[in-house]
């Protein structure tokens, strides 16, 4: 995975995991849960997101309960990456474990919904093509990027174990 490009979906501070994965749909199949992702704050999100689109948020994105269904719903919808000023700690780890590149982006407030972004998560380069602006942030370490590129922790471990068994 070298770069991710997509349209920005912009959210504010304190987006809770309960908004990403509403408890009412926990026992439903993932596609049903994902269809309700973010609907409390952006009803059009799940129905209109395109694979590769990028979530941009303020402080404490993913704060709240440790439900792994939140990043699972975002992954299922095809979110290409998440850029936020800061994250709920467990959400951040879960998002990476489900293969979503997740970068700290202090300038998130400069992005407008619908901006076309291109991200190189390893280098930490973010280009806003709509506004002709470049940003550099801390990129993901190579070992985490390998896991993300594999599709998350479980696919990565399966690849590693398969490679070890083949040698």
Please determine, looking at this structure, whether the domain spanning 4-166 carries the CATH number 3.40.50.10540.
no
Classify burial at 38, counting beta carbons within 10 Å of its beta carbon; exposed 0-12, middle 13-18, buried 19 or more.
Answer: buried
- Within the chain, what is the greatest distance between any pair of CA atoms? 50
pLDDT digits (tens, 9 = 90+) for 88-133: 999 999 999 999 999 999 999 999 999 999 999 999 999 999 999 9
Domain coordinates in residue numbering, the chain:
4-166
Q: At what angle do helices 89-97 and 142-149 cross, to 10 degrees?
A: 60
Return the axis-axis angle of helices 89-97 and 69-77, rounded to nearest 10°.
Answer: 50
pLDDT digits (tens, 9 = 90+) for 62-87: 999 888 999 999 999 999 999 999 99
């Amino acid at each position: 995975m070298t770069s991710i490009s997509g349209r920005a979906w912009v959210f504010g501070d304190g987006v809770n995991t309960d908004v990403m994965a509403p408890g009412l749909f926990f026992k439903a199949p993932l596609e049903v849960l994902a269809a309700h992702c973010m609907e409390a704050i952006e009803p059009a999100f799940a129905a209109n997101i395109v694979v590769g689109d990028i979530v941009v948020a303020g402080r404490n994105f993913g704060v709240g309960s440790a439900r792994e269904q939140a990043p699972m719903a975002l992954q299922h919808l095809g979110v290409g990456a998440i850029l936020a000023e800061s994250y709920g700690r467990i959400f951040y780890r879960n998002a990476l474990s489900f293969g979503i590149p997740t970068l700290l982006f202090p300038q998130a407030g400069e992005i407008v919904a619908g901006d076309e972004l291109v991200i190189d998560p390893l280098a930490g380069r973010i280009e806003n093509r709509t506004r002709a602006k470049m940003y550099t942030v801390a990129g993901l370490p190579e070992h985490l990027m390998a896991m993300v590129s594999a599709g998350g922790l479980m696919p990565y471990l399966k690849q590693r174990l398969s490679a070890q068994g083949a040698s």
